Amino acid sequence: MTIEKKYLDCVLVPLGIFLMVAYHLWLLYRIIKHPTKTVIGVNAINRRFWVRAMMEDVPKNGVLAVQTLRNNIMASTLLASTAIMLSSLIAVLMKSDSSDRSSWFVFGDRSDEAFSIKLFSILVCFLVAFLLNLQSIRYYSHASILINVPVKKMSQHLRYHHLPAEYVATTVNRGSYFWSLGLRAFYFSFPLFLWIFGPLPMFFCCMALVFLLYFLDATFKFGWAVGVIDDSGHEDEELGSQVDCNPSNFVI
C-alpha cells in the first residue's frame, strides 16, 4: 500500500507541474508572437504610450508619473515582504516536530522525507518570488528618475532624439515583467501548498489554476489595442511589433 501511495506522488505531482509549465510556455509564445492577444502584451503597449505621454511634458506630468511608479514600488514591496515572511514561516515548520505530520496527509507519501521535500519546494517558490519582486523594485526605482528626463531639451541632440523615451519604456516594462513573474510564483505556491495534503489536491489545483489563468491572461477584444485596421479588415502588425516582449528584455 505504501508503494502505491508513493507511485501516486510520482505520477500526479509531475503531471500537475507539467501542466503549469506547459501553459506558461504557451503564454510566453503568445506574448512574443501575438502580444495584442494577451493582457501582458496589451499592457506593455499601453505602458509605452504612457511613458511617451509623460515625457512629452515633464513639468506638467512629472509628479503624476513619479506617484504612479511609487504605487508600483509599494505593490512590489508588499509582495516581497510577504514572500520573505512566508519563507521564514516555512523554515520554522521544517524544524518543527514530526510526530503529528501523518495526520496532515490524505493521500500519497507520508514519510518525513516527503514532507521535507514539499516544504522545501514551497520555500524555494517564495524565495524566487522575493527575488523577482526585488528586481521589479529595482527597475521601477530607475524609471522613477529616468521618466523626468526633459525629452524636448534633449531633442536638440539628434543622436539621442528617440533614445530616452524608448529606454524608459523598456525599463518600466521590465519592472512590470518581473512583478508579473513574482506574482506567478505566488500562484505556483498554491498547488505546492496543497501537495502537503496529498497529490490529488495538488493535481486538481493545477488544473483549476491553469483554467483560471487562461481567462486572466487572454484578451478577446484586441483590435482597439493596436488601433489600426486596414480596409480589408486585417490587423496592422506594425505597432504590435514595437511591443517590448522579446525574450532578451527579460534579462537583467
Q: How sure is the predictor about 190, in pLDDT bands with cuts at 50, 70 and 90?
A: very high
Q: 3-class DSSP state for residue 235?
A: strand
Q: How sure is the predictor about 157, in pLDDT bands with cuts at 50, 70 and 90?
A: low
- Domain span at residue 123 reads 2-250
Q: 3-class DSSP state for residue 229?
A: strand
Q: Is the pLDDT of residue 241 over 50?
A: no
pTM of the model: 0.79
pLDDT digits (tens, 9 = 90+) for 12-21: 889 999 999 9
pLDDT (average), residues 107-121: 77
Phi, psi for residue 228 in degrees, rounded to 5: -130, 120
pLDDT digits (tens, 9 = 90+) for 204-224: 999 999 999 999 998 876 544
| Number of domain units in the chain | 1
Q: Which residues touch 236 (CB under 8 Å, ≥6 apart)?
A: 226, 228, 229, 230
pLDDT digits (tens, 9 = 90+) for 230-240: 434 444 444 44
Residue % of the chain over a pLDDT of 90: 42
pLDDT digits (tens, 9 = 90+) for 55-96: 888 778 888 888 999 999 999 999 999 998 888 888 777 766
Residue 198 region by backbone torsions, left for phi larger than 0, else alpha for psi between -120 and 50, else beta: left
Q: Is the pLDDT of residue 183 over 50?
A: yes
Lowest-pLDDT range, 15-24, 101-110, 126-135, 225-234? 225-234
